[in-house]
């Protein structure tokens, strides 16, 4: 690290200490000694136990469930760092909660993703580092710099080790076609789409497949899964359309107990995901977790050194 730059300091909230430790290991910078606790009444308390005055501070905290608690804790940590005279504060949010509430699609509803952006800026965040936002236009919700990384290089690197022949990449709905198309291009695979209709927030009903999947290995790609409803509905219709082995790949697996139950008895051979949120302990679940610690760590190092993070998007490059 060049001596003319202000020193890097890494802080971790309580949302995902394991990932924070791995990121710190990659960067070679120890985590700052920080007290992060909750009072008996549920209020969060933060105390930074080291001098961070004039330092380049990175606060690692995905806003995964419990989303409200983790978001509030992040805001409090940012405030503590600002009042401790940090030179710059970057919020490192591997999983950005509330990202799906990004537009008014019903009367009298909030645009919570914009509210969260405003809260972060109001708290004192100078820039944000995140990964695989639900909708890329969320970057425009921030009036501060935002670096948006992609899990694709990490996930595809693992997928290539499986050496799957006759692979077709499938979007489980019309909205995910752009993402699926990018994966299909990277894997030199064909593309198919499952057209579905959503019954409720936790239930979806798949309808039919556009594209040829008969006798092919298929990979369903999505950005996030919680109940696995979308993935399982897609897998079911792909199986009935004659697909061979069915794999699923999601950037963020915010899995609930119902998802574990569903996945164990499903058509999906393996669910490939990242550790952007804490790994769920799902016994007997066909889950493969790929670490994004090096990806996030490299992003942090490059931001600190005022270097470009664009090469981290390369799927065939060494950075992947």
Rounded to 5 degrees, φ, ψ at 269 are -75, -40
Dihedral angle over CA of 57, 99, 260, 73, nearest 10: 40
Are the C-beta atoms of residues 217 and 244 closer than 8 Å to each other? Answer: yes
What is the spatial distance between Cα 190 and Cα 212, in angstroms, rounded to a whole number? 8
Are the C-beta atoms of residues 137 and 123 closer than 8 Å to each other? Answer: no
Q: Which residues are catalytic?
A: 196
Could you report how far apart the first and last alpha carbons of the chain are, in Å? Answer: 23
Other CB atoms within 10 A of residue 67 CB: 16
Helix axes 67-83, 112-123, angle to 10 degrees: 20
The residues that bridge with 220 in the sheet, in sequence order, are: 170, 248
> What six digits make up the tokens of 285?
């679940």
What is the spatial distance between Cα 72 and Cα 146, in angstroms, rounded to a whole number? 20
């Amino acid at each position: 690290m060049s001596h003319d730059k202000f020193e890097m300091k890494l802080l971790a909230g309580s949302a995902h200490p394991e990932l924070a430790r791995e990121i710190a290991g990659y960067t070679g910078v120890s985590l700052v000694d920080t007290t992060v606790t909750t009072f008996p009444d549920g209020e969060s308390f933060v105390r930074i136990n080291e001098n961070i005055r004039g330092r380049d501070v990175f606060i690692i905290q995905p806003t995964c469930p419990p989303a409200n608690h983790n978001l509030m804790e992040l805001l409090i940590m940012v405030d503590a760092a600002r009042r401790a005279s940090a030179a710059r504060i970057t919020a490192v949010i591997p999983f950005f909660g509330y990202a799906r509430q990004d537009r008014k699609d019903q009367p009298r509803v909030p645009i919570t993703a914009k509210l969260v952006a405003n809260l972060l800026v109001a708290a004192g965040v100078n820039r944000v580092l995140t990964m695989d936002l639900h909708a890329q236009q969320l970057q425009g919700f921030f009036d501060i710099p935002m670096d948006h990384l992609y899990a694709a290089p990490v996930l595809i690197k693992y997928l290539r080790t499986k050496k799957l022949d006759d692979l077709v990449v499938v979007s489980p709905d019309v909205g995910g076609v752009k993402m699926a198309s990018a994966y299909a291009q990277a894997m030199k695979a064909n593309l198919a789409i499952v057209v579905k209709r959503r019954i409720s927030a936790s239930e979806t009903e798949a309808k039919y497949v556009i594209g040829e999947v008969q006798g092919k290995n298929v990979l369903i790609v999505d950005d996030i899964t919680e109940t696995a409803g979308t993935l399982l509905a897609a897998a079911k219709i792909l199986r009935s359309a004659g697909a061979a082995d069915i794999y699923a790949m999601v950037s963020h697996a915010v899995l609930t107990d119902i998802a574990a139950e569903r996945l164990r008895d499903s058509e999906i051979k393996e669910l490939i995901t990242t550790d952007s949120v804490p790994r769920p302990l799902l016994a007997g679940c066909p889950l493969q977790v790929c670490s994004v610690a090096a990806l996030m760590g490299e992003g942090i190092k490059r931001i600190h050194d005022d270097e470009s993070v664009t090469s981290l998007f390369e799927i065939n490059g060494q950075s992947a």
